Structure 1
Amino acid sequence: MGGLSIWHWLIVLVVVIAVFGTKKLRNVGSDLGAAVKGFKDGMKDGSADPQAPAAPAQQVANSKVNDPNTVDVDAKTKS
């Protein structure tokens, strides 16, 4: 008595199709499939992204070496 038979599910399916229409349900299904695929790709690419560099490259401009406004100091640790 507590379980739903196949006939109950068929009636529910017919009511859902009558309310939303087959075109709307097809669009929802394709959108849901694309969302699941995007989520899986995001989880796979999240750990190792081959296109993104691990750390940005450090660049030193040679013209700044002899700049009179540059101060070269040594950092001292506080003990």
Structure 2
Amino acid sequence: MGGLQPWHWVIVIAVFVLLFGAKRLPDAARSLGKSMRIFKSEVKEMQAEGKADNPPATPIASERIDTANPTAEQSDKRSA
């Protein structure tokens, strides 16, 4: 019930042909395709720029999870 049936598509296509005419539809489809290609290339370029500008951050020593002497901390926890 939620999906479009094949006859729904036929009606939609017929409405588009009636509204825009058979001569304008190929031009509209061609310009839509060009727009999508331009959009896709711009998105890829922005993603490449973002990756190049932001190198992965390395934590400083006070933020690191592993410490220089983990056994000393473990023995402190056991004795408590």
TM-score range, shorter chain: 0.3 to 0.5
Structure with greater helix percent: 2
TM-score under structure 2 length normalisation = 0.45
